[in-house]
A and B are shown apart, each in its own frame.
Chain A
Amino acid sequence: MSENKTQAVKIEISNLKKQFGNNQVLTGFNLSIRKGESLCLIGTSGCGKSVALKCLIGLVSADSGSIKVDGHETIGQSRAENEALLRRFGMTFQFGALFDSLPIWENVTFRLRQKEKLSKKIAREIAGDIINQLGLAPHVLDLFPAELSGGMQKRAAIARAIADKPEILLFDEPTSGLDPITSGVINDLILNSVNRLGATTLTISHDMASVRQIADTVAMIHQGQIIWCGPVADMHDTGIAEVDQFVNGKAYGPLTSNPPDTNVAQHSEMPV
Chain B
Amino acid sequence: MIGFVQSLGASVLALSRMIGGIVLFTTIALRWVLVPPFYGRQIVRQMVDIGYYSLPVVGLTTLFSGMVLALQSYTGFARFSAEDTVATVVVLSITRELGPVLAGLMVAGRVGASIAAEIGTMRVTDQIDALDTLSTRPMQYLVGPRIIAGIVCLPILVLIGDIIGVFGGYLVGVYNLDFNASVYLSKTLEFLEFEDVFIGLVKAAIFGFIITLMGCYHGYYSGRGAEGVGKATTNAVVSASILILIANYTVTALFFG
**With A and B bound together, what is the CA distance between A173 and B37 in angstroms?**
33
Chain B contact surface mostly: helix
Instruction: Judge if B250 is at the interface, Cβ distance under 8 Å.
Output: no
User: Which among A107-115, A199-207, A225-233 touches the partner chain?
Assistant: A107-115
What is the 8 Å Cβ interface bit string for chain B, positions 162-187, against chain A (1 contact, 0 not)?
A: 00000000000000000000000000
What is the 8 Å Cβ interface bit string for chain B, positions 35-49, against chain A (1 contact, 0 not)?
A: 001000000000000
**With A and B bound together, what is the CA distance between A144 and B1 in angstroms?**
56
**With A and B bound together, what is the CA distance between A82 and B136 in angstroms?**
12
**With A and B bound together, what is the CA distance between A86 and B129 in angstroms?**
11
B37 touches A54 (CB 8 A): no
B235 touches A110 (CB 8 A): no
Q: Which residues of the partner chain A approach B24 to less than 8 Å between Cβ atoms?
A: none
Instruction: Judge if A196 is at the interface, Cβ distance under 8 Å.
Output: no
Q: Which of A91, A96, A99 contacts B133 (CB under 8 A)?
A: A91
| B120 → chain A closest CB, angstroms | 12
* Chain A contacts with B in 66-118, Cβ cutoff 8 A: 83, 86-87, 89-91, 93-100, 110-111, 114-115
| B53 → chain A closest CB, angstroms | 15
Instruction: Judge if B135 is at the interface, Cβ distance under 8 Å.
Output: yes
B132 touches A97 (CB 8 A): no
- CB-CB under 8 A for A114 and B18, given A54-B129, A95-B126: no
Instruction: Judge if B125 is at the interface, Cβ distance under 8 Å.
Output: yes
Q: Which of A57, A96, A266, A272 contacts B14 (CB under 8 A)?
A: A272
How many cross-chain pairs have Cβ atoms below 8 Å apart between A and B?
65
Minimal Cβ-Cβ distance residue in B for A110: B134
| B184 → chain A closest CB, angstroms | 47
A263 touches B224 (CB 8 A): yes
Interface centre among A91, A97, A270 (most CB of B within 10 A): A97
B135 touches A270 (CB 8 A): no
A100 touches B18 (CB 8 A): no
Instruction: Judge if B192 is at the interface, Cβ distance under 8 Å.
Output: no
Instruction: Judge if A259 is at the interface, Cβ distance under 8 Å.
Output: no
Instruction: Judge if A21 is at the interface, Cβ distance under 8 Å.
Output: no
Beyond A99-B127, A270-B14, list 18 extra A-B contacts (CB 8 Å).
A86-B132, A86-B135, A91-B133, A94-B126, A97-B127, A98-B130, A100-B122, A100-B127, A111-B135, A114-B134, A115-B135, A266-B223, A266-B224, A267-B227, A267-B231, A269-B14, A270-B10, A270-B11
Instruction: Judge if B15 is at the interface, Cβ distance under 8 Å.
Output: yes
**With A and B bound together, what is the CA distance between A97 and B128 in angstroms?**
8
